[in-house]
Amino acid sequence: MPNVLSVITDLAEASAALTRRRGFAETQLSTPMREGVRRVFGADLSAEAVVDRILTDVRADGDAAVLRYTEAFDGARPDPIEVPRAAWDAALAGLDPPLRDAMELAADQIAAFHRKQLRTSWIDYSDEGALGQIVRPLERIGIYTPGGTAVYPSSLLMTAVPAKVAGVEDVIVCSPPSGGAVSPLTLAAARIAGVDRLFQVGGVQAIGALAFGTETIPHVDKILGPGNIFVVLAKQRVYGVVAIDQLPGPTETLLVADGSADPALVAADMLAQAEHDPMASAVLVTIDEGLVAPILTALRDQLDALDRREIAAQALAANGLIVVAPDLSTAMGLANAYAPEHLCLLLRDPWRAVPLVKHAAGVFVGEHSPEALGDYTAGPSHVMPTGGTARFSSPIHVGDFTKVISLAAANEAALRRLGPATIALAHAEGLGGHAAAIERRLAKGRPATGETAV
């Protein structure tokens, strides 16, 4: 694999490469995307302009705009827009038994993992009244599931199952019709995950419908799920009307390995990441320079046998990287600076590195915990922050589907203790009405002049 995978031994260069901000999405449209925009709109528009136009139309025209854009971009005019549940049942029944068993096992694992995250409401009572939090599930969420050239029923399970564990009442899915219909894999996953309704609509029009609501598609409280640049930008635009999970970019894995790592397994894990798409990133930080040559050889040999070798080769050439670090502490520092979506520890004693993890969406500990396991059956959701956003955000979890309502029930004792400070702060901010609301209550409880309190 000559000249297609960068190897860096200089720490300053490695640090610069790994700390460069990747961004949530690339707004440069591909040639097919530009041609599609020109065909539909009769002009060369930016991705942002396309998104704004479609969202405006969906908000104004509802189902009519949804159908118009679905026909224009997907070549189908779904009738009805909602996929009947009988089609879900047929899709599930039509699965090969081993695949159905695998999807059901994955769903069970995901549910078991996320049940441990459930929070309950709490109220602390005291002599001054009570303070607490009321935890409630979101009422309705929308999940966007790609359905064109790529179909990921696992991503639907990884989002819908935690939502149901959290107690979400209505889980709505939108997925584009490919070849005139939603993929049977998506329908089967929806059935297994306990989804409530599913609409055969994709692209920006689906995000707009979920955010604003149409005659047929109900508006939701939060939109989750991956998509292309148009979908990502649409989610960004509707944030504030609804909540969103994240702005996903290309997937990424960073492996930290020492001399105990099997070069063949390291190469396999890097290729498993690289085969996703040409923008995927597979990075290795090793503290044993002797690993580099055998890993490069293993990559070359395994790449030749890979079905998606062209995609994987493009990803390695564009974003693949091997860094040589002097010790584990330095290696983990580089990993934290990169803040990867997936952090894999292929070390003789991987648990020694776990306390050093500061920034990563998911940590995969040891040779028997490849990231590929996490993509399907381990249990944690594989919908994770990318592009360095693991520094401040988290994978999909039960908390994404709940909200907290604060509760305060002060009595007179609390009012007398906290009131004076409240009045002082209110006056400092020029909010006399706030101060008066407290002063009147304090005065109401005081004995009149000449009277004696009992």
> What's the residue count for the chain?
454
Residue 228 annotated in ligand binding = yes
- Which residues, other chains included, contact 384 with Cβ-Cβ below 8 Å and sequence gap of 6+? 341, 342, 361, 362, 390, 395, 396
Q: Is 144 annotated as a binding residue?
A: yes
How much is the mean pLDDT over the chain? Answer: 93
Q: What is the pLDDT of residue 1?
A: 46
pLDDT at 180: 83
Contact indicator for 130, 152 with CB cutoff of 8 Å = no
276 annotated as a binding-site residue = yes
Active site (annotated) includes residue 427: no
Q: Say whether 371 counts as a known binding-site residue.
A: no
Q: Which of 275, 341, 367, 371 is catalytic?
A: 341
Residue 411 assigned as binding residue: no
SS3 assignment for the chain: CCCCCEEECCHHHHHHHHHCCCCCCCCCCCHHHHHHHHHHHCCCCCHHHHHHHHHHHHHHHCHHHHHHHHHHHHCCCCCCCECCHHHHHHHHHCCCHHHHHHHHHHHHHHHHHHHCCCCCCEEEEECCEEEEEEEEECCEEEEECCCCCCCCHHHHHHHHHHHHHHCCCEEEEECCCECCECCHHHHHHHHHHCCCEEECCCHHHHHHHHHHCCCCCCCCCEEECCCCHHHHHHHHHHECCEEECCCCCCCEEEEEECCCCCHHHHHHHHHHHHCCCCCCEEEEEECCHHHHHHHHHHHHHHHHCCCCHHHHHHHHHHHCEEEECCCHHHHHHHHHHHCCCEEEEECCCHHHCHHHCCCCCEEEECCCCCHHHHHHCCCCCCCCCCCCHHHCCCCCCHHHHEEEEEEEEECHHHHHHHHHHHHHHHHHCCCHHHHHHHHHHHHHCCCCCCCCCC
Instruction: For the chain, report the end-to-end CA distance as a whole number of angstroms.
Output: 91
pLDDT digits (tens, 9 = 90+) for 81-127: 999 999 999 999 999 999 999 999 999 999 999 999 999 999 999 99
The model's pTM is 0.92
Q: What is the pLDDT of residue 22?
A: 58
In the predicted model, residues of the chain with pLDDT beneath 50 are: 1-3, 25, 450-454
Per the structure block, which two tokens stand in for 27?
């707004």
71 catalytic per annotation: no
Give the per-residue pLDDT at 30.
Answer: 76
Domains and CATH numbers, the chain: 6-19+249-391 (3.40.50.1980), 85-246+399-403 (3.40.50.1980), 411-444 (no CATH)
Q: Is 375 annotated as a binding residue?
A: yes
Candidate list 114, 252, 275, 342, residue with the active-site label: 342
pLDDT at res. 452: 40
Q: Report cis status (omega within 30 of 0) of the bond before 80.
A: yes
pLDDT at 27: 60
CA distances from 108 to 20, 105, 186, 272, 408 (A): 38, 5, 17, 24, 38
